[in-house]
Copies of this chain bind each other. A is one copy, B any other.
Amino acid sequence: MLLIAATADDAIRGISDGATVLIGGFGNAGQPMDLIDALLRSGTTGLTVVNNNAGQADAGLAVLIRERRVRKIICSFPRQSDSWHFDAAYRAGEIELELVPQGTLAERIRAAGAGIGGFFTPTGYGTMLAEGKETRVIDGRGYVFETPIHADAALIKALKADRSGNLIYRKTARNFGPVMAAAARHTIVQVSEVVQSGELDPEHVVTPGIYVDVLVAAEPGRAAAAQGRGGLERVDTP
């Protein structure tokens, strides 16, 4: 049952301490800043976060890490010129890092959404990131066994949603959104606006509404259809 939240704070309710949370974005593109800020305000802690990076500068995921809400991060590229909050937490031994090649990260998330129990990828074979993992030679090529990354919740950003929960994205901000939406038990999406069902061309939908649980719109005009009636509007008719 799709819910439309009046605010980002309403939208992120239900994420518990210790939850595994997929957070969309590649750098800042596609990073759901409003939802992350709300998660920060909620005080939730002890999180395992899955993201390509480990935060940039002083916004979004970086602040969540600065405030020590993240117990463990699963990512491909934590070290950047402006990843100072992660760097400090890591050197202090206050955050656990699971480093995953970027394509393996995306494929493990996809596998969770697609009900795949595990898969063999050639990426990383013979490297230290395959140490301790099952390997297999298939048709003369080496492969590493990788497992799905399931999650309690996903926080992602899309361009628009319709009232059936269908999503479209914008340019390279699409990145991890579609696979994360499918992999989490509870998917929360920050969009610019929510339009009526029928306003998105069915051929152009990137994430079908079946994967979306909660929407929150940044544009108050259309977003706050819910506001008069409390924080969460149940969408009974698309």
Residues of A with Cβ closer than 8 Å to B? 107, 111, 114-122, 136, 138-139, 141, 143, 147, 168-171, 202-204
Please, how many angstroms separate the alpha-carbon atoms of A117 and B107 in the complex? 13
Q: Knowing that A117-B136, A168-B203 are A-B contacts, what are 17 other residue pairs whose CB atoms are under 8 Å apart, sorted by A's residue number?
A: A107-B114, A107-B116, A115-B121, A115-B122, A116-B119, A116-B121, A117-B119, A117-B120, A117-B121, A117-B122, A118-B138, A138-B147, A169-B203, A170-B203, A171-B202, A171-B203, A203-B204
Q: How far is the CA of A1 from the CA of B14 in the complex (A)?
A: 51
A111, A120, A147 — most chain B CB neighbours (10 Å): A120
By a CB distance below 8 angstroms, the chain B residues around A119 are 111, 116-120
Partner of A120, one of B118, B141, B169, B202: B118
**CB-contact partner of A117 in B143, B147, B171, B203, under 8 A:** B143
Q: Which residues on the B side are within 8 Å of A138 (C-beta)?
A: 117-118, 147
Q: Which residues of B contact A114 (CB under 8 A)?
A: 107
